[in-house]
Amino acid sequence: MTSPNFEKVYQNITELIAKQPDDLLLRICELLKTEIYHYDWVGFYILEKGKNELVLGPFAGKPTQHTNIAVGKGICGQVAQSGQTMVVQDVTQVENYISCGLEVQSEIVVPVLSNGVFVAELDIDSHSPAPFTDKDREFLENICRLLVSCF
């Protein structure tokens, strides 16, 4: 297992954003899932204004039954509420964790903020125990800053 090439993937994502394809978010999900070995499910949840609820947007990985998540519920809902990145190296240690599958061992959720206000988030599940580093966090936060105009 080699270290992920975050710089190369980031460059590919900036090139995709410059092209503005209709399926931009889906293509970013697929690129992240394919290129970063410990990203087993990658998707966006988008805040539905007025409902205080997250709605599943584009994703790459197994389909999930969690297409709507209340703000405050589970890791995704907590990130929507706080506007802060959340890294969970062991999902069994989170009291209100919403399981998307028995194989998920860890999760990182990064908010997309527009002028400091939560609008969406990037959710990544991993089947590996404790795979996320500060480099993952920085890499994903930089991507989410690039994507503000998409929401």
Average pLDDT of the residues in 77-85? 96
Output the CA–CA distances (angstroms, integers) from residue 53 to 26, 98, 120, 133, in the order listed.
21, 15, 11, 29
> What residues contact 100, with CB distance under 8 A and at least 6 apart?
41, 62, 64, 65, 66, 125
**Tokens representing residue 16 in the block:** 């995709």
The Cα–Cα gap between 106 and 91 comes to 5
Bridge partner residues of 40 (DSSP): none
Has this prediction a pTM greater than 0.85?
A: yes
The Cα–Cα gap between 40 and 14 comes to 22
pLDDT of residue 91: 84
The Cα–Cα gap between 93 and 105 comes to 10
Say whether pLDDT at 1 is over 60: no
For 86-124, write each residue's pLDDT tens digit. Answer: 999 988 887 676 666 678 899 999 999 999 999 999 999
For 12-71, write each residue's pLDDT tens digit. Answer: 999 999 999 999 999 999 999 999 999 999 999 999 988 999 999 999 999 998 999 999
Q: What's the residue count for the chain? A: 151
The Cα–Cα gap between 131 and 126 comes to 8
**pLDDT tier at 127, thresholds 50, 70, 90:** very high
CB 84 within 8 A of CB 111: yes
All structural domains of the chain, each given as residue ranges with its CATH number in brackets, are 6-150 (3.30.450.40)
> What residues contact 76, with CB distance under 8 A and at least 6 apart?
45, 54, 69, 98, 109, 121, 123
pLDDT of residue 2: 59
pLDDT of residue 94: 75
